Amino acid sequence: MFQKNIPAWAMLVIGLLWNPAQSAEIGSTRNQDRLWEPIPDEVFLQEVGRIVQTDSPALAVAVYRERVYAGFENGLRLLEGESLSPVGEIREPVRRLEALANSLWTITDQGLHRLDSNGWKSIGEGGYRDLCVHSGELIVAGERALYRVDGDELVPLENAENCPMAIQSIESYGGAIHVLGAGRLAIFDGHKYEFEEVVDWGEMPSPETRDLCTMGSRLYVATARGLGVLRGMAMTQIRGKDGLCVEDTTCLTASDKDLWVGTSRGAIRMTATGEFQYFAADRWLPSNSVHAIACGENCVYIATYGGLGIIEYVSYTLQKKAAFYERHLEEWGMKRLGFVHKLLYEEDKGGWVREISDNDGGWTAHYLAAMSYKYAVTRDEEAKKEAINSFHAMKWLEEITPIDGYPARAVWAKGEKGHQAQHGSGGFPAEWHDTPDGVWEWKSDTSSDEIDAHFYSVSVFHDVAAEGKEKERAKEHLARMASHIIDNGWVLMDLDGKPTMWGRWDPEYLQRPKGFNARGLNGLEALSFMCTAYAITGNEKFLKAYQELQKLGYPKEVIRQKLVFPPDSIFHSDDELAFYVYFPILHYETNPLLLSIYRRSIERSWEVERIEQNPWFNMIYGVVTGNDCELEQATQHLREWPLDLVEYTYRNSNRDDLFTPKGYVAYSGGVKAISPRERGPLRWAAPSLQLDGGSGGRSVEDPSGWIHAYWMGRYYGMITAPTVTDPALLTVERRNVQLGATPYSGPPRPDLK
């Protein structure tokens, strides 16, 4: 694979094409035609969820005069703040609640009750099933008869007293009352029940039917195997293959142009554009068994076996969301010594603590790039200070070790409160080393992951935000790491004088079984490091090293760096590493032959990654190629992140819509991208194709990757500035609150050398 395996004629071609004069052209940013269209940062509705858990199942729910009522086996309750208070007038089991005709109607086991401006009134005794408004009258369904409400009484509808089937639900549709029974849909036109003429074409998805709902020209039927849709007299079906997340539907509610669908495994919002949005436990609902749904003003209430799930819709722009996440980092105590951290919940340490991880430089790199891009776009001095602070933290990782150009994975203050990583590479124990003054520990056995993150984020900082001495420090930092790699024979040399487990780019390692599958990615990394170091410093040492790698044959391995087989070789966090190093090498390189190789590589990789709809991957691809990079999907992904960044348990493997979308191929496994709304926030090292996971609410993700993608999009014009000027839609109020880990109180970070 490397030089000794390359024929003599090929080496001659390499020598002719990859000459120093051509390679010395590194360093300029190319202007190129772009095929992507910018996405405007328009106002959208952001979901904000909360849960009210109850000691018994919530069976029904309704919104009446801006108050929320829920039905239970022991009566009716009123939502007051975060709790449900009993309503004394209704103590028997509640089966259905409806807010119709300026009144709240409650169906219990004993009868029908009405609440209006005059208070509570019992309207009828006996068993009732449903209500609807038809031709200006309120119609009530008994078990086998229909009634109309006349004042405080129920009057039987003429010819509607002997329905040939037990009634489940009724709706007014097409000028007639439609009556749903077990697997049967009838109409009452004022004279008689009809069955033969209800459906001329098509059939129900299942004979097990549950509910009806009218929306304009359509009548929807909830069944055990999807939705039936009646238009005129034609019945079609909406099933999993059509996008319905769960086919076992239980109840239906209309809200403006949306249809809300309750299921045995969560709730679904079907929008007017045909999009299906899935809301399930544990993030959105107290449990997945949905019994009823009610819609209020910009709010949806979902009655489940475990209580109420409440989803409020709040107007946001992406810029406001970025400000929210920046505030989140502060309020949740996720920042420390210039680094950013996720949080873990540990009872023995009193609750939320910061994770001092195996890869603190890698996670902080996203925040450094985010603040660099934000400063370049806004000239906000606070963003500049944040970028400089995080850069100093990254540089400190190298300065704290006694080895020139060798950065630590993480730094721990002796005696600080937090979670200190106890694992190392390959399942070995963590390697923590004390500093000579005994104040700090630093984590060793550094991997290629860290070097990738340093080269990417520091080069972005250098190019778009750094000035004066900070620019020189950025150059020095990259030069020291590049020199360490070259001087130690293309490895990271640890304290013991041996290469670290994963910090290897030497030909010997990449020809061994352990490193063979890494030859494409590691080769790309080494090339990118040297290309970037030379572009930024102009030091001929790095140009010569870059040329040496070319002569060794590294470029030819780059094209197929993304592994898709065998399955146990697919490691999705490697995708983040690849895009870390794709960006600078395609940004700085100008040699047509090398560009062709690197371009073919990222084209191949992005075709594999495209199905994941990862905003950062998409944007990097679009920036370095100018090609269409599915910005619509990338921006939608950013909008769908929940504001609550707690990592709840999620399960999507039991869904019925697990089909690969048209236009995509799941080359490296999986089926489809799962929306962040439906799985939770994710760092860009995690695959969006993962169906199940989460930590049961015991960790909080840091949003640095999201902020990075947003401000990168703004910097390159992929996302335009917001189209509104209202400050309430552009930022969030700063608050002096502490929600997560207590602020860091250990020794301060030392000044840079």
* Mean of pLDDT over the chain: 93
Residue 599 counted as domain residue:
yes
Q: Is 220 in contact with 213 (CB distance < 8 Å)?
A: yes
Question: What DSSP character marks residue 535?
Answer: H
Averaged pLDDT for residues 567-594: 91
pLDDT at 381: 98
pLDDT at 5: 45
Asked if 333 and 291 sit in the same domain, the reply is: no
Asked if 105 and 23 sit in the same domain, the reply is: no
Report the percentage of the chain scoring pLDDT > 70.
95
Res 15 pLDDT > 60: no
Asked if 439 and 518 sit in the same domain, the reply is: yes
Question: What DSSP character marks residue 431?
Answer: -
pLDDT at 196: 59
Asked if 312 and 325 sit in the same domain, the reply is: no
Residue 635 counted as domain residue:
yes
Within its chain, how far is the Cα of 118 from the centroid?
48
Q: Choose one of 316, 331, 350: the last residue of a domain.
A: 316
The span from the CA of 393 to the CA of 388, in Å, is: 9
Residue 72 counted as domain residue:
yes
What are the tens digits of pLDDT across the range 314-334? 999 999 999 999 999 999 999
Report the sign of the C-alpha dihedral through residues 448, 454, 455, 460, in that order.
Answer: positive
What are the tens digits of pLDDT across the range 401-417? 999 999 999 999 999 99
Averaged pLDDT for residues 627-646: 97
The span from the CA of 647 to the CA of 697, in Å, is: 5
The span from the CA of 484 to the CA of 491, in Å, is: 8
Distances in whole angstroms, Cα of residue 139 to Cα of each of 69, 107, 109, 390, 563: 21, 13, 18, 66, 63
The structural domain count of the chain equals 2
Residue 621 counted as domain residue:
yes
Asked if 525 and 391 sit in the same domain, the reply is: yes
What are the tens digits of pLDDT across the range 140-184? 999 999 999 999 999 999 988 888 899 999 999 999 999 999 999
The span from the CA of 290 to the CA of 268, in Å, is: 10
Averaged pLDDT for residues 493-500: 96
Structural domain harbouring 428: 3-43+317-729
Residue 343 counted as domain residue:
yes
Q: How many CB atoms lie within 10 A of CB 10?
A: 13
- Pairing assessment for the beta strands 419-420 and 351-356 based on DSSP bridges: parallel
pLDDT at 573: 87
CATH number (domain holding residue 9): 1.50.10
Determine the residue type at 657.
D
Asked if 294 and 374 sit in the same domain, the reply is: no
Asked if 311 and 323 sit in the same domain, the reply is: no
Closest CA to 326 of 677, 730, 685: 730
Closest CA to 732 of 328, 177, 312, 185: 328
Asked if 178 and 324 sit in the same domain, the reply is: no
Q: Is 71 exposed, middle or buried (0-12, 13-18, 19+ CB in 10 A)?
A: buried
Q: Is 193 in contact with 187 (CB distance < 8 Å)?
A: yes
CATH number (domain holding residue 100): 2.130.10.10
Residue 197 or 55, more confident: 55
Residue 740 counted as domain residue:
no
Token pair listed for 204? 């129900």
Asked if 222 and 130 sit in the same domain, the reply is: yes
Residues in CB range of 498: below 8 A, 6 or more apart: none
144: left (phi over 0), alpha (psi -120 to 50) or beta: alpha
Asked if 705 and 604 sit in the same domain, the reply is: yes
The span from the CA of 729 to the CA of 262, in Å, is: 32
What are the tens digits of pLDDT across the range 92-147? 999 999 999 999 999 999 999 999 999 999 999 999 999 999 999 999 999 999 99
Tally of CA atoms within 13 A in the half-sphere of 615 that contains its CB: 28
Residue 306 counted as domain residue:
yes
Asked if 326 and 293 sit in the same domain, the reply is: no
For residue 566, is the peptide bond before it cis, meaning its omega torsion is within 30 degrees of 0?
Answer: yes
pLDDT at 9: 33
Q: Is 515 in contact with 566 (CB distance < 8 Å)?
A: no
The span from the CA of 581 to the CA of 312, in Å, is: 40
Res 289 pLDDT > 90: yes
pLDDT at 18: 42
Question: What DSSP character marks residue 749?
Answer: P
How is the beta sheet containing 94-100 ordered, strand by strand?
94-100, 103-108, 111-116, 119-125
Residue 745 counted as domain residue:
no
What are the tens digits of pLDDT across the range 57-79? 999 999 999 999 999 999 999 99
Residue with tokens 């600080």: 416
Q: What are phi and psi of 191, to 5 degrees?
A: -125, -50
Residues in CB range of 694: below 8 A, 6 or more apart: 282, 647, 648, 649, 650, 679, 680
Lowest average pLDDT, out of 187-191, 225-229, 242-246, 581-585, goes to 187-191
Q: Note the pTM of the prediction, 2 decimals.
A: 0.93
Res 30 pLDDT > 50: no
pLDDT at 426: 77
Asked if 92 and 8 sit in the same domain, the reply is: no
The span from the CA of 485 to the CA of 160, in Å, is: 87
Report the percentage of the chain scoring pLDDT > 90.
88
